[in-house]
Structure 1
Amino acid sequence: MPRVRVLPRQTSASPEARYWVVGVLTEWGLTSVRDDAALVVTELVSNAIKHTETPTVQVILRRMSPGTVRLIVIDKRPDAWPALQSAGPLECGGRGLAVVDAVTKSWGCTRWPWEKRVWADLEVKSAS
Protein backbone atom coordinates (compact mmCIF):
# COMPACT_ATOMS: atom_id res chain seq x y z
CA MET A 1 0.00 0.00 0.00
CA PRO A 2 1.56 3.32 -1.01
CA ARG A 3 1.99 6.11 1.51
CA VAL A 4 1.15 9.68 0.47
CA ARG A 5 2.03 13.09 1.90
CA VAL A 6 0.91 16.48 0.56
CA LEU A 7 3.11 19.44 1.48
CA PRO A 8 2.74 23.17 0.88
CA ARG A 9 5.21 24.72 -1.56
CA GLN A 10 7.49 26.19 1.11
CA THR A 11 11.16 25.73 1.97
CA SER A 12 10.09 23.63 4.96
CA ALA A 13 8.64 21.02 2.58
CA SER A 14 12.04 19.45 1.81
CA PRO A 15 13.03 18.63 5.39
CA GLU A 16 9.46 17.63 6.21
CA ALA A 17 9.41 15.23 3.25
CA ARG A 18 12.81 13.85 4.27
CA TYR A 19 11.72 13.14 7.86
CA TRP A 20 8.47 11.61 6.64
CA VAL A 21 10.23 9.28 4.16
CA VAL A 22 12.77 8.18 6.78
CA GLY A 23 9.92 7.48 9.20
CA VAL A 24 7.93 5.40 6.71
CA LEU A 25 10.98 3.40 5.65
CA THR A 26 11.86 2.76 9.29
CA GLU A 27 8.28 1.62 9.93
CA TRP A 28 8.57 -0.73 6.93
CA GLY A 29 11.89 -2.08 8.22
CA LEU A 30 13.79 -0.80 5.16
CA THR A 31 16.69 0.87 6.92
CA SER A 32 19.20 0.03 4.16
CA VAL A 33 17.55 2.51 1.79
CA ARG A 34 16.80 5.36 4.23
CA ASP A 35 19.83 7.56 3.56
CA ASP A 36 19.55 7.39 -0.22
CA ALA A 37 15.78 7.93 -0.09
CA ALA A 38 16.24 10.96 2.18
CA LEU A 39 18.75 12.43 -0.27
CA VAL A 40 16.52 11.76 -3.29
CA VAL A 41 13.30 13.14 -1.80
CA THR A 42 15.12 16.25 -0.61
CA GLU A 43 16.41 16.92 -4.12
CA LEU A 44 13.12 16.20 -5.91
CA VAL A 45 11.01 18.27 -3.52
CA SER A 46 13.55 21.11 -3.62
CA ASN A 47 13.40 21.08 -7.43
CA ALA A 48 9.60 21.18 -7.39
CA ILE A 49 9.68 24.17 -5.03
CA LYS A 50 12.40 26.00 -6.96
CA HIS A 51 11.27 25.38 -10.52
CA THR A 52 7.48 25.46 -10.25
CA GLU A 53 4.84 27.70 -8.76
CA THR A 54 2.52 24.87 -7.80
CA PRO A 55 0.76 25.47 -4.43
CA THR A 56 1.50 21.98 -3.12
CA VAL A 57 3.90 19.11 -3.70
CA GLN A 58 2.77 15.53 -3.24
CA VAL A 59 5.18 12.77 -2.18
CA ILE A 60 4.35 9.09 -2.64
CA LEU A 61 6.39 6.20 -1.30
CA ARG A 62 5.57 2.78 -2.74
CA ARG A 63 7.07 -0.68 -2.37
CA MET A 64 7.32 -1.91 -5.97
CA SER A 65 8.84 -5.32 -5.18
CA PRO A 66 10.85 -6.86 -2.35
CA GLY A 67 13.95 -5.26 -3.85
CA THR A 68 12.64 -1.84 -4.94
CA VAL A 69 11.07 1.23 -3.36
CA ARG A 70 9.69 3.96 -5.62
CA LEU A 71 9.66 7.58 -4.53
CA ILE A 72 7.38 9.92 -6.52
CA VAL A 73 7.16 13.71 -6.29
CA ILE A 74 4.18 15.33 -8.00
CA ASP A 75 3.69 18.96 -8.87
CA LYS A 76 1.14 20.77 -11.01
CA ARG A 77 3.64 22.18 -13.52
CA PRO A 78 3.92 19.66 -16.37
CA ASP A 79 5.93 22.01 -18.60
CA ALA A 80 8.86 22.31 -16.14
CA TRP A 81 10.77 19.18 -17.17
CA PRO A 82 13.72 17.96 -15.03
CA ALA A 83 17.03 17.45 -16.79
CA LEU A 84 20.53 16.41 -15.80
CA GLN A 85 22.94 19.33 -15.90
CA SER A 86 26.67 19.53 -16.11
CA ALA A 87 27.93 21.77 -13.31
CA GLY A 88 31.46 23.08 -13.15
CA PRO A 89 33.60 22.46 -10.05
CA LEU A 90 33.00 25.97 -8.67
CA GLU A 91 29.27 26.20 -9.40
CA CYS A 92 26.93 26.16 -6.42
CA GLY A 93 24.08 24.24 -8.06
CA GLY A 94 23.19 21.92 -10.88
CA ARG A 95 24.30 18.61 -9.37
CA GLY A 96 21.08 17.43 -7.75
CA LEU A 97 19.74 15.17 -10.47
CA ALA A 98 23.24 13.78 -11.05
CA VAL A 99 23.20 12.72 -7.39
CA VAL A 100 19.71 11.22 -7.83
CA ASP A 101 20.99 9.37 -10.90
CA ALA A 102 24.00 8.06 -8.96
CA VAL A 103 22.08 6.63 -5.98
CA THR A 104 19.01 5.18 -7.72
CA LYS A 105 18.40 2.13 -9.89
CA SER A 106 16.54 4.40 -12.29
CA TRP A 107 14.59 7.64 -12.34
CA GLY A 108 12.42 9.54 -14.76
CA CYS A 109 9.46 11.78 -15.27
CA THR A 110 5.91 11.15 -16.40
CA ARG A 111 3.86 14.08 -17.60
CA TRP A 112 0.12 14.61 -17.96
CA PRO A 113 -1.57 17.86 -19.03
CA TRP A 114 -2.39 18.68 -15.39
CA GLU A 115 0.74 17.46 -13.52
CA LYS A 116 4.15 15.85 -13.67
CA ARG A 117 5.51 12.97 -11.60
CA VAL A 118 9.22 12.67 -11.06
CA TRP A 119 9.98 9.18 -9.82
CA ALA A 120 13.04 7.36 -8.56
CA ASP A 121 13.51 3.67 -7.87
CA LEU A 122 15.82 2.74 -5.02
CA GLU A 123 17.31 -0.69 -4.46
CA VAL A 124 16.55 -2.29 -1.11
CA LYS A 125 19.64 -4.09 0.06
CA SER A 126 19.04 -7.23 2.05
CA ALA A 127 20.27 -7.39 5.62
CA SER A 128 23.56 -9.22 6.00
Structure 2
Amino acid sequence: MCPASSLAALHVKRPVPAPTVRLPCCFLRIAIWRARSYAGRTRRWFTVFWSRQRRFARARSSVGAARAFAHETLSEWGITDRLDDVRLCVSELATNAVLHGVPPGREFCLALTADGGSIRIEVRDSGGGCPQVVAGGAERCDGRGLLLVQAVSDDFGVVEHVPGKTVWATFKTGSTRRAGRGVAGTDPLAHPSDNPGHAAP
Protein backbone atom coordinates (compact mmCIF):
# COMPACT_ATOMS: atom_id res chain seq x y z
CA MET A 1 0.00 0.00 0.00
CA CYS A 2 1.10 3.52 -0.71
CA PRO A 3 1.72 5.78 2.21
CA ALA A 4 -1.02 8.29 3.08
CA SER A 5 1.20 11.19 2.09
CA SER A 6 1.71 9.72 -1.35
CA LEU A 7 -2.06 9.31 -1.83
CA ALA A 8 -2.68 12.91 -0.81
CA ALA A 9 -0.09 14.12 -3.30
CA LEU A 10 -1.83 12.23 -6.09
CA HIS A 11 -5.13 14.04 -5.42
CA VAL A 12 -3.61 17.58 -5.43
CA LYS A 13 -4.91 19.52 -8.43
CA ARG A 14 -2.33 21.56 -10.21
CA PRO A 15 -3.42 25.13 -11.20
CA VAL A 16 -4.40 25.50 -14.80
CA PRO A 17 -2.36 28.30 -16.49
CA ALA A 18 -4.43 31.26 -17.66
CA PRO A 19 -4.80 31.61 -21.42
CA THR A 20 -2.51 34.14 -23.04
CA VAL A 21 -4.38 37.12 -24.48
CA ARG A 22 -2.65 38.82 -27.37
CA LEU A 23 -3.97 42.29 -28.22
CA PRO A 24 -3.77 43.51 -31.79
CA CYS A 25 -1.08 46.13 -32.43
CA CYS A 26 -3.74 48.76 -33.17
CA PHE A 27 -5.07 48.49 -29.59
CA LEU A 28 -1.60 49.01 -28.17
CA ARG A 29 -1.01 52.01 -30.41
CA ILE A 30 -4.30 53.59 -29.31
CA ALA A 31 -3.42 53.05 -25.64
CA ILE A 32 0.01 54.66 -26.11
CA TRP A 33 -1.51 57.60 -28.03
CA ARG A 34 -4.08 58.18 -25.28
CA ALA A 35 -1.39 58.07 -22.61
CA ARG A 36 0.70 60.61 -24.47
CA SER A 37 -2.31 62.86 -25.05
CA TYR A 38 -3.18 62.74 -21.36
CA ALA A 39 0.41 63.58 -20.45
CA GLY A 40 0.33 66.54 -22.84
CA ARG A 41 -2.90 67.84 -21.33
CA THR A 42 -1.41 67.46 -17.87
CA ARG A 43 1.59 69.57 -18.83
CA ARG A 44 -0.68 72.28 -20.21
CA TRP A 45 -2.70 72.34 -16.99
CA PHE A 46 0.44 73.37 -15.10
CA THR A 47 1.54 76.20 -17.42
CA VAL A 48 3.12 78.97 -15.36
CA PHE A 49 1.18 82.24 -15.45
CA TRP A 50 2.41 85.58 -14.16
CA SER A 51 0.40 88.76 -13.63
CA ARG A 52 1.17 92.13 -12.10
CA GLN A 53 -0.33 95.62 -12.31
CA ARG A 54 0.22 99.10 -10.93
CA ARG A 55 -1.56 102.46 -11.04
CA PHE A 56 0.13 105.69 -12.05
CA ALA A 57 -0.84 109.34 -11.64
CA ARG A 58 -1.69 111.67 -14.52
CA ALA A 59 1.80 113.13 -14.82
CA ARG A 60 4.60 113.05 -17.38
CA SER A 61 6.89 111.44 -14.83
CA SER A 62 4.55 108.43 -14.80
CA VAL A 63 5.70 107.47 -18.31
CA GLY A 64 9.23 106.72 -17.11
CA ALA A 65 7.86 105.08 -13.96
CA ALA A 66 5.65 102.77 -16.03
CA ARG A 67 8.57 101.88 -18.28
CA ALA A 68 10.74 101.10 -15.24
CA PHE A 69 7.94 98.99 -13.73
CA ALA A 70 7.73 96.91 -16.91
CA HIS A 71 11.51 96.47 -16.99
CA GLU A 72 11.63 95.43 -13.34
CA THR A 73 8.72 93.00 -13.68
CA LEU A 74 9.96 91.18 -16.78
CA SER A 75 13.49 90.98 -15.39
CA GLU A 76 12.15 89.44 -12.20
CA TRP A 77 10.16 86.92 -14.24
CA GLY A 78 13.25 86.11 -16.34
CA ILE A 79 11.54 87.06 -19.63
CA THR A 80 13.93 89.45 -21.35
CA ASP A 81 13.99 88.50 -25.04
CA ARG A 82 11.30 91.12 -25.87
CA LEU A 83 12.22 93.55 -23.11
CA ASP A 84 13.10 96.47 -25.40
CA ASP A 85 9.92 96.03 -27.47
CA VAL A 86 7.76 95.93 -24.36
CA ARG A 87 9.43 99.01 -22.83
CA LEU A 88 8.92 100.97 -26.05
CA CYS A 89 5.23 100.08 -26.29
CA VAL A 90 4.63 100.74 -22.60
CA SER A 91 6.19 104.18 -23.06
CA GLU A 92 3.97 104.99 -26.04
CA LEU A 93 0.75 103.73 -24.46
CA ALA A 94 1.47 105.45 -21.15
CA THR A 95 2.21 108.72 -22.99
CA ASN A 96 -1.11 108.47 -24.84
CA ALA A 97 -2.93 107.80 -21.57
CA VAL A 98 -1.36 110.80 -19.84
CA LEU A 99 -1.87 113.23 -22.73
CA HIS A 100 -5.22 112.10 -24.10
CA GLY A 101 -6.87 109.48 -21.90
CA VAL A 102 -6.69 110.16 -18.18
CA PRO A 103 -9.13 112.82 -16.88
CA PRO A 104 -7.71 115.37 -14.40
CA GLY A 105 -7.30 113.91 -10.93
CA ARG A 106 -7.51 110.31 -12.15
CA GLU A 107 -4.96 107.54 -12.76
CA PHE A 108 -4.15 104.96 -15.41
CA CYS A 109 -3.35 101.30 -14.80
CA LEU A 110 -0.57 99.26 -16.41
CA ALA A 111 -0.98 95.47 -16.29
CA LEU A 112 1.50 92.85 -17.47
CA THR A 113 0.76 89.16 -17.92
CA ALA A 114 2.90 86.30 -19.23
CA ASP A 115 2.28 82.59 -19.74
CA GLY A 116 5.70 81.38 -20.89
CA GLY A 117 4.89 81.79 -24.58
CA SER A 118 3.77 85.40 -24.78
CA ILE A 119 3.67 88.71 -22.94
CA ARG A 120 0.63 90.96 -22.78
CA ILE A 121 0.58 94.59 -21.70
CA GLU A 122 -2.54 96.62 -20.99
CA VAL A 123 -2.94 100.31 -20.30
CA ARG A 124 -6.36 101.25 -19.00
CA ASP A 125 -7.77 104.70 -18.30
CA SER A 126 -11.22 106.10 -17.62
CA GLY A 127 -11.16 108.72 -20.38
CA GLY A 128 -13.36 108.76 -23.45
CA GLY A 129 -12.51 108.24 -27.10
CA CYS A 130 -11.04 105.30 -28.95
CA PRO A 131 -7.37 105.51 -30.05
CA GLN A 132 -6.76 104.81 -33.72
CA VAL A 133 -3.67 104.36 -35.85
CA VAL A 134 -2.99 107.56 -37.78
CA ALA A 135 -1.47 107.04 -41.23
CA GLY A 136 0.60 110.10 -42.06
CA GLY A 137 3.68 111.14 -43.93
CA ALA A 138 7.18 111.53 -42.59
CA GLU A 139 6.54 115.19 -41.82
CA ARG A 140 3.96 114.35 -39.15
CA CYS A 141 5.29 114.39 -35.59
CA ASP A 142 2.09 113.34 -33.83
CA GLY A 143 -0.07 110.26 -33.94
CA ARG A 144 2.83 107.85 -34.29
CA GLY A 145 2.39 106.08 -30.94
CA LEU A 146 0.07 103.35 -32.17
CA LEU A 147 2.04 103.05 -35.40
CA LEU A 148 5.07 102.08 -33.34
CA VAL A 149 3.00 99.70 -31.23
CA GLN A 150 1.60 98.12 -34.38
CA ALA A 151 5.07 97.70 -35.88
CA VAL A 152 6.79 96.34 -32.77
CA SER A 153 4.15 94.10 -31.19
CA ASP A 154 2.69 90.89 -32.59
CA ASP A 155 -0.87 92.06 -32.07
CA PHE A 156 -2.72 94.94 -30.42
CA GLY A 157 -6.20 96.32 -30.00
CA VAL A 158 -8.58 98.45 -27.96
CA VAL A 159 -11.34 97.30 -25.61
CA GLU A 160 -13.92 99.94 -24.67
CA HIS A 161 -15.46 100.05 -21.20
CA VAL A 162 -18.02 102.19 -19.39
CA PRO A 163 -16.22 104.31 -18.54
CA GLY A 164 -12.86 104.26 -20.25
CA LYS A 165 -10.89 101.86 -22.43
CA THR A 166 -7.98 99.44 -22.40
CA VAL A 167 -5.27 99.44 -25.06
CA TRP A 168 -3.44 96.11 -25.15
CA ALA A 169 -0.53 94.58 -27.04
CA THR A 170 0.95 91.09 -27.13
CA PHE A 171 4.50 89.89 -27.76
CA LYS A 172 5.46 86.31 -28.56
CA THR A 173 8.48 84.97 -26.71
CA GLY A 174 10.81 82.00 -26.94
CA SER A 175 9.95 79.41 -29.59
CA THR A 176 6.67 81.15 -30.47
CA ARG A 177 8.30 84.47 -31.33
CA ARG A 178 7.33 85.72 -34.76
CA ALA A 179 5.69 82.39 -35.59
CA GLY A 180 2.83 84.41 -37.03
CA ARG A 181 1.19 87.80 -36.58
CA GLY A 182 -2.47 88.16 -35.74
CA VAL A 183 -4.85 90.71 -37.15
CA ALA A 184 -4.83 94.00 -35.25
CA GLY A 185 -7.90 94.25 -33.09
CA THR A 186 -8.28 90.54 -32.33
CA ASP A 187 -7.98 89.24 -28.80
CA PRO A 188 -5.95 85.99 -28.72
CA LEU A 189 -5.78 85.72 -24.91
CA ALA A 190 -8.38 85.88 -22.20
CA HIS A 191 -8.81 89.51 -21.30
CA PRO A 192 -8.29 90.21 -17.57
CA SER A 193 -10.02 93.57 -17.94
CA ASP A 194 -13.30 91.83 -18.79
CA ASN A 195 -13.37 90.51 -15.23
CA PRO A 196 -16.03 92.45 -13.28
CA GLY A 197 -13.52 92.81 -10.46
CA HIS A 198 -11.12 94.73 -12.71
CA ALA A 199 -12.35 98.23 -11.97
CA ALA A 200 -11.49 101.28 -14.01
CA PRO A 201 -8.81 103.56 -12.53
**TM-score normalized by the length of structure 2:** 0.59
Higher relative contact order structure (alpha carbons within 8 Å, sequence separation ≥ 6): 1
Total equivalences in the alignment = 124
Consecutive unaligned residues in structure 1, runs of 5 or more: none
**Residue 73, structure 1, aligned to residue 131, structure 2:** no
CA distance in 1, matches of 2:142, 2:161: 28
Kindly provide the amino acid, as one letter, of the partner of residue 73 in structure 1: V
Q: Identical aligned pairs, as a percentage?
A: 33
The amino acid of 1:9's aligned partner reads R
Higher Rg = 2
| Bigger fraction of residues in helix | 2
Q: 2:85 maps to what in 1?
A: 36
- Paired amino acid for 1:66: G
Q: Confirm or deny: 8 A CA contact 1:33 1:125 kept in the other structure.
A: no
User: Runs (4+) of structure 1 moved beyond 2 Å?
Assistant: none
1:19 counterpart letter in structure 2:
A
Counterpart of 1:59? 110
Q: Which structure has greater strand proportion?
A: 1
Matches of 1:20 and 1:27 in 2, distance apart?
11
Return 5+ residue gaps in structure 2 as ranges: 1-49, 176-201
* TM-score for both structures, normalised by structure 1: 0.91
State the match for 1:24 in structure 2.
Answer: 73
Q: Distance in 1 between matches of 2:154 and 2:102?
A: 29
Q: Distance in 2 between matches of 1:99 and 1:8?
A: 24
